[in-house]
Structure 1
Amino acid sequence: MLSLKSSLILVAYVIIFLTGLPANLLALRAFLGRVRQPQRAPIHILLLSLTLADLLLLLLLPFKIIEAAYEFTWKLPEIICAITGFGFYSSIYWSTWLLAGISIERYLGVAFPVQYKLSRRPLYGVIAALISWIMSFGHCTIVIIVQYWNKTQEATNKDEITCYENFSPGQLDLVLPVRLELCLVLFLIPMVVTIFCYWRFVRIMLTQPHVGAQRRRRAVGLAIVTLLNFLVCFGPYNVSHLVGFYTKKSPQWRAEAVVFSSLNASLDPLLFYFSSSDVRRAFGKGLQILRHRSSTLSGRKGREIAEMANGDKGASQVEGAASSDFTTD
């Protein structure tokens, strides 16, 4: 029988997977359509990259579910542990710098709207996404290195093998300083950049008299969701790095902190919703399809089809051209 800790983590992972996967797939479809359009901007590339980072984490989440189901003993081949850890933690830190890049784009778009529109190039978004990818995946190669550094496991019983949890003193001498660097370079710096940019972004949006109330609410919502991402999702996991470096051992609550980091994949779709009219339309149509299917079972098929048609027409009239830009001009 599973312990309470393993049961709660297992349920949390399942909920994150079931909520995050469909939402991110809808967002992926919307952003792929957006980047194919002529007037794409760096922000669209960054949002698409953030969706891919979330999907990578979600596709690896079943392995974490299996791990929790077996009380955090690793029953799969060791190479799967290394690959899962590498991709899982890389996706987390890929997201932090992508969020920072998105915040910079938002700030430039409202602070210097004319210069931003004249100078923005999709190539800049590609370069920023590649730099963040190289930084995150490059740093997280430590996961694979440590996995085979003097052999990660010291357990004599094969059934007691864990994945990237129990380290020898020699391995901790390598792991703990690298985790501290991860916290500083891939969490603290992008968080400071993001807080500064969104503070300026929201302040400009709220003080401009010609900015509508709906756009102001979306700006505030965007800033709040991003701040929650850093504080609630990424914060506990990176604090565990600081605690581990100070105490010279991995904290006992590190597994729970990893769950909060995974929650990022379910929270990002809210960011996409506030950021892009394409995603808002995609989510709206998805909800309409669900309502239509449920109404079919209750005999209201004809009326719901008419409501879907009217809803699509109204959405297109309200939203207008597809855009994900916040500008003050």
Structure 2
Amino acid sequence: MNNSTGYWGNCSEEHLFDTSDFRYTLFPVIYSFLFIVGLPINIAALVFLVRNKATKRLTEVKIYMISLTVADLMFIAFLPFWIDYYNRGGDWKFHSFMCSLCGSLFYINTYNTVFFLALISFTRYLAVYRPVKAARSRRILRGFISTAVIWLATICFSLPTLINSQRHVVRADDGMLRCFESYKQPSTKTELLVMHLLILLGFLASFGVVIANSALILRRLSVDQQLLRISQGRLQKRAFRMVLLVLTIYLFCFLPHHLVQLPWLLLVLNFWKSTDCAFRRIVNDVHQVTLCLMCINCVLDPILYCFLTVNFREYVKGLTQSCRSKCTLSSSPKPQVIQL
């Protein structure tokens, strides 16, 4: 007797993707870490980019970095709702609109990051291949137009989710209200498949841009290795490190999720009618882990600014020293006053 067939009653469409119970422990830990660490460093990055005197000059890449930071902060600010949800074992206690809003911000942050990193990669390519022209031209208008297009596209793509908010909060058999964990509505299956295919194509396009720009930048830098050693090659040094970090963010945070997303979606929507319960559960487990990996980008993005903005490291170092000195002063014992 086939083992998977014997267990088929316990892994039907209705219950199969209620597995992966480890997510109710993993997600609160990861999200709490991202909230505690990501909120202050992204606020510090935004303050630096907007108010620091050393970087008052507006440039194309600075516009992208500000937009990237705002997207990260919007996602991080709503993480307490997800922390509460997973701490309750997957029971949504807030209004259905908040479920849709939190889910929308997750995708807005993810794909804003994906597209802005691709644009930053492109600007570094121009800086390496056309350094004189890039230095003379700020390309601010192109930066504003590109930023507006990306924000408009991601927000418009999320509008159906926000409008149909009640669709995404469904009461499970155990009485709990699931947020973005139910795919039972037949009318939404084709819509979900088309939407996620478009998302996948957008990711592949941006990833292709990053791979192409990275290859061209590395090729240019390898032509003359002295560019990485002379003082005039500081731009090339930052470009080289930026290439490595952007590739790391893509490969570590985004690529695993997009590799498993389509097989997972085909299984969960039952377009792929596999009766191998173990396989389906493994795919679901991997999908949950890749969702966590994708969220980590919000604390990795500020590291990118260290390589793109010369004074950011000094700014962070100054903040750290200031905080340490304040903590030292507050913890030191106050001198006793002796009254005569």
- Common topology (TM > 0.5): yes
- Deviation, 1:268, is 0.6
Given residue 94 of structure 1, which amino acid in structure 2 is its aligned partner?
Answer: N
Deviations 1:172-199 (A, max 9, x none): 22112211210111x1111110121122
- Aligned-CA RMSD value: 2.7
Counterpart contact for 2:46–2:66, Cα < 8 Å: yes
- Measured in 1, the distance between the counterparts of 2:260 and 2:88 equals 23
Deviations 1:209-252 (A, max 9, x none): 24447845543332222112212212233234311344353952
Counterpart contact for 2:59–2:139, Cα < 8 Å: yes
Counterpart contact for 2:245–2:304, Cα < 8 Å: yes
Determine the structure 2 residue equivalent to 1:8: 26
- Deviation, 1:134, is 1.6
Deviations 1:287-315 (A, max 9, x none): 21233234436769xxxxxxxxxxxxxxx
Q: Among 31, 50, 61, which residue is 1:32 paired with?
A: 50
1:252 aligns with 2:284: yes
Determine the structure 1 residue equivalent to 2:261: 241
Gaps of 5+ in 2: 1-20, 271-282, 334-340
Counterpart contact for 2:170–2:179, Cα < 8 Å: no
- Deviation, 1:56, is 1.0
1:198 aligns with 2:230: no
- Deviation, 1:155, is 3.1
Determine the structure 1 residue equivalent to 2:120: 102
Counterpart contact for 1:176–1:244, Cα < 8 Å: no
1:228 aligns with 2:248: yes
Alignment of 1:1-329 (within 5 A): 4-33=22-51, 39-144=57-162, 147-148=165-166, 151-153=167-169, 155=171, 159-168=175-184, 169-185=186-202, 187-208=203-224, 209-212=226-229, 215=234, 218-249=238-269, 252-253=284-285, 254-296=287-329
TM normalised by structure 1 equals 0.80
- Taking structure 1 as reference, are residues 206 and 17 closer, same or farther at Cα in structure 2, changes over 3 Å only? farther
- Measured in 2, the distance between the counterparts of 1:62 and 1:200 equals 41
- Deviation, 1:104, is 0.6
Q: How many pairs were matched up?
A: 295
> What SS class does the counterpart of residue 162 from structure 1 fall into?
strand
> What SS class does the counterpart of residue 289 from structure 1 fall into?
helix
- Measured in 2, the distance between the counterparts of 1:170 and 1:38 equals 51
> What SS class does the counterpart of residue 71 from structure 1 fall into?
coil
- Deviation, 1:162, is 0.8
Deviations 1:138-193 (A, max 9, x none): 22334335544xx44553668422111111232222112211210111x1111110
- Measured in 1, the distance between the counterparts of 2:23 and 2:170 equals 24
TM normalised by structure 2 equals 0.78
- Taking structure 1 as reference, are residues 237 and 210 closer, same or farther at Cα in structure 2, changes over 3 Å only? closer
Counterpart contact for 1:40–1:122, Cα < 8 Å: yes
